[in-house]
């Protein structure tokens, strides 16, 4: 689940506050966070919109890395994958 995927990002309290300030639908699908929603999350978490953007970018990168790692494992199990 998304909550599990972002748990490693919670190292700083402000990051936890940002996620806590999101609506459940925004946590499930961060792509729906437009500019006004990001500003609301920033106000609610006591951070800046730039901090919210940074966290969302980190999450997108982590998700991308996990997807490529998972795809690599699947390819190796199916007999492909370079090794």
Query: Does pTM surpass 0.85?
Result: no
Tell me the per-residue pLDDT of 21-72, one tens digit each, with 9 for 90 and over.
999 999 999 999 999 999 999 999 999 999 999 999 999 999 999 998 888 7
Q: What is the pLDDT of residue 73?
A: 75
HEC-encoded secondary structure of the chain: CHHHHHHHHHHCHHHHHHHHCCCHHHHHCHHHCCHHHHHHHHHHHCCCHHHHHHHHHHHHHHHHHHHHHHHHHHHHHCCCCCC
Q: What is the pLDDT of residue 33?
A: 96
Q: What is the pLDDT of residue 79?
A: 67
Residue 74 has pLDDT above 80, yes or no: no
Higher pLDDT, 8 or 17: 17
Q: What is the pLDDT of residue 46?
A: 95
């Amino acid at each position: 689940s998304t909550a599990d995927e972002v748990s490693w990002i919670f190292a700083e309290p402000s990051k936890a506050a940002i996620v806590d300030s999101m609506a459940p639908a925004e946590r499930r699908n961060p792509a729906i966070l437009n500019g006004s929603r990001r500003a609301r999350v920033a106000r609610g978490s006591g951070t800046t919109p730039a901090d919210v953007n940074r966290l969302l970018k980190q999450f997108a990168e982590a998700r991308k890395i996990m997807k490529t790692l998972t795809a690599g494992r699947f390819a190796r199990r199916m007999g492909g994958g370079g090794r």
